[in-house]
Structure 1
Amino acid sequence: MMSWPEQVVRVQSLSESGIRAIPDQYIRPLSERPLFKLGSQFHRHVDVPLIDLQHLFGKDPTLHLDTLNRISNACRDWGFFQAVNHGVSHELMTRARQVWRDFFNLPLQAKQEYANAPTTYEGYGSRLGVVKGAVLDWSDYFFLHYLPVSLRNQSKWPMQPSSCREVVAEYGCQVVKLCTTLLKAMSIDLGLKEEYIENAFGGDNMGACFRANFYPKCPQPELTLGLSSHSDPGGITILLPDYDVARLQVLNDGDWITVNPVPGSLIVIIGDQIQVMSNAIYKSVEHRVTVNSAKDGLSLAMFFNPKSDLVIEAAEELVSEERPALYEAMTFDHYRVHMRMKGPCGKKRIESLKFNTP
């Protein structure tokens, strides 16, 4: 866990070198490639959930209930939704995207000062997991701890561009407010007290992490992925997507569905800890990211997680003789070690926690 098993190669440098074929370690098995047909309706048209949040806690009870029902349906049936009128400043979203584009456009030597290690992942990285010989993703990233404040390591926050630290702090503040609002809505929908999920995650000590994802142009996008298939291990993720090229795909009813992001939207993704806590009433969504031969891509993710040493289990109110607890109780620290060791692996991790699973 102290070091990467092989020399770390920056994907952006590979892309900018002018190679015409990607190295073997980025080539996915046939069944994991973007154009492989999983289901019988591979090309079916699907309208993914798009929810206007402006009435979520407004004064009109009818519009409030309608918004709550839309969130409920999306979390139960899809495990994610696109959100508009979410309260996060569009101008700030633009600044956040630009400051991270500027960072990834810095000379390699300047970025290497923030090179990360698998012990925390904090800093500039290019791989997940420490399994030697693993198939790698066509992406670079920058990972930061945001909450609790005591975990923020300012030496890991980039000093270039000069506005980076300020923008990340301001953007994070607004997204935290959105997350808190959504956790209340989810608690209410599940029949729990409004503060239940937030308190179960640690209240003021709840964890939050930030990750900027950079997807360089790829000469053979049909052979690889920007991010392997996985479900997020934490609670919920708020994703600022790439609006220029549709890259995010979600698995729904056996088919990979491409999400065409609405400009100005944020994408809310249910993670494994919410699936456990809701006793699988809400589902975490398996998703992946494709790459493009003509355009680089950038997305920003805020992950909201339980305090690392808290035991997460199904809420008592959601457990009965007819529906017993489905998953083993476990701390988030224990749970996320799997991804740090092995990297993304679909939903195998959460399914392995089911009782009576060999």
Structure 2
Amino acid sequence: MDSNNGWPEPIIPVQSLSESGTETIPERYIKPPSDRPGTELTKSSPLSIPVIDLSAMSIEEMARAVSDACSEWGFFQVVNHGVRPELMRHAQQVWRGFFHLPIEEKQRYANSPATYEGYGSRLGVEKGIRLDWGDYYFLHVLPPCLKSHEKWPALPHALRDTTDEYSRELINLCERIMEAMSIGLGLDPTRLQDSFGGRADVGACLRVNYYPKCPQPELTLGLSSHSDPGGMTVLLADDSVKGLQVRRGSDWVTIDPVRDAFIINVGDQIQVLSNAMYKSVEHRVMANATDERLSMAFFYNPKADLPLSPIRELVTLDRPVLYTPMTFNEYRLFIRRKGPRGKSQVESLKTSCH
């Protein structure tokens, strides 16, 4: 492997660029005019994604609320979800501590395009692509054969144990949400989970995103527009600095995170399994001139080598099969090659008759 760890060009952490005091961003981070955030940096929207209180509902009420949110928005926030706020804040604290370590310590975990596991600053592998203004750390939680503490940061000292506990809590939450999603589709409570390969074979991973201050936020994005390629995402956002935007028709809606809430969104694999009754939605992250921002995206995914296609109970004469089968392993290779590209991948799976 070359000195770039398999990447086509030298990797420069965005945090290093930010801390250098530069007043202009390198050309490779400047987005085409059609993709720049423009006035959305300051424009507020009267629209907001649904907020669901999980403590105040029966499973049937929860299923209706989750189903409506997945069908209408593809995004929702959950409060009173059972994960301790102290754990959530501590997880953010230890990971912020990691990104504030000396660069030499972080570079010990520099990643490669082969697995993306570790410390990185770009997603797409193609040479010459436009880059996003953000660094990240990606790690595997499930299946057990992929999880390795040796690939997780040793510093701060509490990071590994905290991330373990946090991940266990989020797996439990994902299982509850999957059950509600399944009931909301008119299926047995375990049907969607079974279509993922069952509880024993799912995949789960965590990407901690760090968005440093940017001298020209109007020219770039922290993370380009995309829909998530996996099953479901549970995001712990920075509730003090807004940045996440969700596409709503031709507009972008800025999400206002509720304190101690999780933001949950449908991934492409659930759109496929639900035959588009639930929809993954494009979203992106703004850069910020005055504040750094950290978010933690927990991805709950189907078994990697299991071919996925619409669940047969959701296929009717009025709603025929919309997608051709593909495994998650095959699917995510597209993202790894090209980086975030809107919803072009899931749309490419649609059967020729549609």
TM bracket, shorter-chain basis: over 0.9
Q: Deviations over 1:3-31 (max 9, x none)?
A: 11100110000000000000000001111
Identity %: 54
Match of 1:339 among 328, 335, 338: 335
Q: Which amino acid aligns with 2:28?
A: Q
Deviations 1:234-292 (A, max 9, x none): 00000000111110000012210000111111000100000000000000011000011
1:110-152 deviation digits (Å, cap 9, x = unpaired): 0000000001000000000111111100000000000011211
SS at match of 1:54: helix
Tell me, in whole angstroms, the C-alpha distance in 2 between the residues paired with 1:331 and 1:13. 37
Matched residue of 2:38: which SS? coil
Letter in 2 for 1:270: V
State the match for 2:271 in structure 1: 275
Pick one of 191, 199, 214 that aligns with 2:186. 191
The answer as to whether partners of 1:140 and 1:213 remain within 8 angstroms in 2 is yes
Question: C-alpha separation between the residues in 2 aligned to 1:77 and 1:300?
Answer: 24
Give the SS at the match of 1:222: helix
1:330 and 2:326 are equivalent in the alignment: yes
**Once the two structures are superposed, what CA deviation does each residue of 1:158-188 show, in whole Å capped at 9, x if it has no partner?**
1001111000000000000000000001111
The aligned runs of 1:244-283 (5 Å cut-off) are: 244-283=240-279
**Which of residues 212, 218, 230 is equivalent to 1:216?**
212
- The answer as to 2:157 corresponding to 1:162 is yes
Instruction: Tell me if 1:15 matches 2:15.
Output: no
SS at match of 2:298: strand
Letter in 2 for 1:330: M
Do the aligned partners of residues 81 and 207 (structure 1) sit closer, same or farther apart at CA in structure 2, a change above 3 Å counting? Answer: same
Shift of 1:207: 0.2
CA RMSD of aligned residues (A): 1.5
**Per the alignment, in what secondary structure is the counterpart of residue 83 of structure 1?**
strand
Partner of 1:77: 72
Deviation at 1:55, TM superposition (A): 3.5
Deviation at 1:65, TM superposition (A): 3.4
User: How far has the Cα of 1:198 moved from its partner?
Assistant: 1.2
Q: Quick check: 66-75 or 245-254, which moved more?
A: 66-75
**1:28 corresponds to 2:31:** yes
How far apart in 2 are the matches of 1:264 and 1:357? 45
CA apart distance, 1:306 = 0.7
Q: Letter of the aligned partner of 1:292 in structure 2?
A: N
Post-superposition CA distance 1:20-73 (Å, at most 9, x none): 000000001111111268xxxx865213211111134x4xxxxx4333222111
Structure-2 residue corresponding to 1:61: none
**Distance in 2 separating the partners of 1:319 and 1:84:** 33
Counterpart AA for 2:52: I
C-alpha separation in 1, matches of 2:189 and 2:38: 43
Q: d(CA) in 1 for partners of 2:62 and 2:155?
A: 40
**How many matched pairs?**
348
State the TM-score, normalizing by the size of structure 2. Answer: 0.96
1:197 Cα deviation from its structure 2 partner: 1.4
Give the distance between the partners of 1:212 and 1:52, measured in 2 at CA. Answer: 25
Q: Distance in 1 between matches of 2:86 and 2:148?
A: 26
Distance 1:32 1:178, change over 3 A: same
